[in-house]
A = this chain, B = another copy of it.
Amino acid sequence: MAVHEVVVDVMLKPEILDPAGQAVLNALPSLGLPAASSLRIGKHVELSLEAEDETAALELATKMAETLLANPVIEDFRVRPRHGG
């Protein structure tokens, strides 16, 4: 059993409005920043857990994401190993 570092990115589904992202998008020009054509804000979760191997670690993280980190009604998530980033 080794410790594996995993990243879970949680985003609102594309059809769900993201007021926070919209607010940032609208603020860009008034701050003298270049405009973006879209900008959405989600959650970035970095976690360390013990597992036999990387595949098992990703499975455990997926279980966590499904039941606790993401709301499957309005959010999608992606799980990946964290390799220096």
A51 to chain B, nearest CB (A): 8
Query: Would you call A49 and B24 a contact (CB within 8 A)?
Result: no
Q: Within the oligomer, what is the number of copies of this chain?
A: 2
Query: Would you call A43 and B41 a contact (CB within 8 A)?
Result: yes
Query: Would you call B33 and A63 a contact (CB within 8 A)?
Result: yes
List residues of A (22-67) whose CB comes within 8 Å of B's CBs: 24, 27-28, 31, 33-51, 60, 63-64, 67
Other A-B pairs beyond A35-B49, A38-B48, A39-B48, 10, CB < 8 Å: A21-B45, A24-B68, A28-B68, A34-B63, A37-B48, A40-B46, A41-B43, A41-B45, A42-B44, A42-B45
Chain A residues with a Cβ under 8 A of chain B: 3, 9-11, 21, 24, 27-28, 31, 33-51, 60, 63-64, 67-69, 78, 80, 85
